[in-house]
Amino acid sequence: MTTTPAGLDVGHREYHPSLATWLSDGWITTRRNLIKIKRVPDILVFTTLQPIMFVLLFTYVYAGVIHIPGSSYTEFIMAGIFAQTVVFGSTYSGSAMANDLKDGIIDRFRTLPMSPSSVLVGRTNGDLLINTISMAVMMTTGLIVGWRIRSSPLEAVAAVALLLLFAYALSWVMAFIGMSVRSPEVINNVSFLILFPLTFLSNAFVPSSTLPTPLRVFAEYNPVSALVQAARELFGNVPAGTPVSDVWTQQHPVLTVLMGIAIMLIVFVPLSIRKFRQVSSR
């Protein structure tokens, strides 16, 4: 058994990098995912087209039939579309990890003197970039169709940061799921089963007060509802006099979202790293 100067124990595949080396590994794997997006532009094209379609669909098809007291449906719906897009954008980590396992890329990473967590950091950073581009496209499209930011620039930046940070934390959850399924084809179905009820059974597209009681209760405690409500408040898209639910998560949406982000990162970052070690040692 030999040990390289970099600290790689070839026999036991142990690697204990310094902070600088870990940051370098993370940047290299992040760059790998950025280059992949550049070489496969279809990913970026469809990533930008989808949010545009959602904005146009909801603002022009449903705006005439859904009435929001004291506000327009366009301003009401934009926070919901933002949340939906970044939440579904977090699934790329899961599908990418599943594909890398299937294609044998992870086996190549395993032979290199690099931190296992850097692979996951690079993958989730790639999702963060995609979601950032999607947010820019959606906000531009929203401004064109009549959506307006009615808060301060600092609050608007906070809203965007909160949406992206929530999606980043969720991408670690998706990465863990992607390494847990048996094939890349399954991850799309699993993601749909998890994210579909979270996004559509929420206050993203209609006020939760209009839902039947069982669905209303689910929507009020739904973390996506808190994310949407937080975005609406920070963008200034909550009309004056709008009744606020007496549910704690809706009265304190920003704090609720921050707590959810912290829980997802604390739980799923170590779980994902441990899962990566397991699947890469097979």
Q: According to the model, what pLDDT value does residue 241 have?
A: 62
Distance of alpha carbon 64 from alpha carbon 96, whole angstroms: 39
Distance of alpha carbon 144 from alpha carbon 55, whole angstroms: 10
Q: According to the model, what pLDDT value does residue 229 have?
A: 94
Q: According to the model, what pLDDT value does residue 265 have?
A: 95
Comparing CA positions, the residue from 47, 56, 70, 83 lying closest to residue 205 is: 83
Residue 34 clears pLDDT 80, i.e. is over it:
no
Q: Residue length, the chain?
A: 282
**Rounded mean pLDDT, 13-21:** 60
**Which residues, in sequence order, are bridge partners of residue 3?**
9
Distance of alpha carbon 177 from alpha carbon 189, whole angstroms: 11
Residue with tokens 């992949």: 36
Residues 49 and 39: beta-carbon distance below 8 Å: no
Q: According to the model, what pLDDT value does residue 16 have?
A: 59
Pair of tokens at residue 63: 């705006």
**Rounded mean pLDDT, 120-144:** 87
Q: According to the model, what pLDDT value does residue 31 have?
A: 77
Residue 20: pLDDT band with limits 50, 70, 90: low
- What's the 3-state SS for 17-78? CCHHHHHHHHHHHHHHHHHHHHHCHHHHHHHHHHHHHHHHHHHHHCCCCCCCCCCCHHHHHH
Distance of alpha carbon 230 from alpha carbon 8, whole angstroms: 45
Q: Is residue 144 part of a domain?
A: yes
Residue 107 clears pLDDT 70, i.e. is over it:
no
What whole-number percentage of the chain has pLDDT above 90? 30
Residue 240 clears pLDDT 70, i.e. is over it:
no
Q: Is residue 11 part of a domain?
A: no
**Rounded mean pLDDT, 114-123:** 78
- In this predicted model, what pLDDT tens digit does every residue of 204-235 receive, in sequence order? 888 888 889 899 999 999 999 999 999 999 99
* Residues whose CB is less than 8 angstroms from the CB of residue 192 and which lie 6 or more positions away in sequence, other chains included: none
Q: According to the model, what pLDDT value does residue 19 have?
A: 63
How many structural domains comprise the chain?
A: 1
Q: According to the model, what pLDDT value does residue 14 have?
A: 53
Distance of alpha carbon 261 from alpha carbon 163, whole angstroms: 10
Q: Is residue 198 part of a domain?
A: yes
Residue 12: pLDDT band with limits 50, 70, 90: very low
Q: Look over the chain and give the mean of its residue pLDDT values, rounded to a whole number.
A: 81
Q: Is residue 15 part of a domain?
A: no
Residue 269 clears pLDDT 70, i.e. is over it:
yes
Residue 111 clears pLDDT 80, i.e. is over it:
no
**Domain enclosing residue 35, as ranges:** 27-280
Residues 93 and 121: beta-carbon distance below 8 Å: no
CA-to-CA dists, residue 216 to 75, 206, 209, 233, angstroms = 22, 11, 6, 20
Residue 167 clears pLDDT 90, i.e. is over it:
yes
* Residues whose CB is less than 8 angstroms from the CB of residue 176 and which lie 6 or more positions away in sequence, other chains included: 268, 271, 272, 275
**Backbone dihedral region for residue 224 (phi beyond 0: left; psi -120 to 50: alpha; all else: beta):** alpha
Q: Is residue 12 part of a domain?
A: no
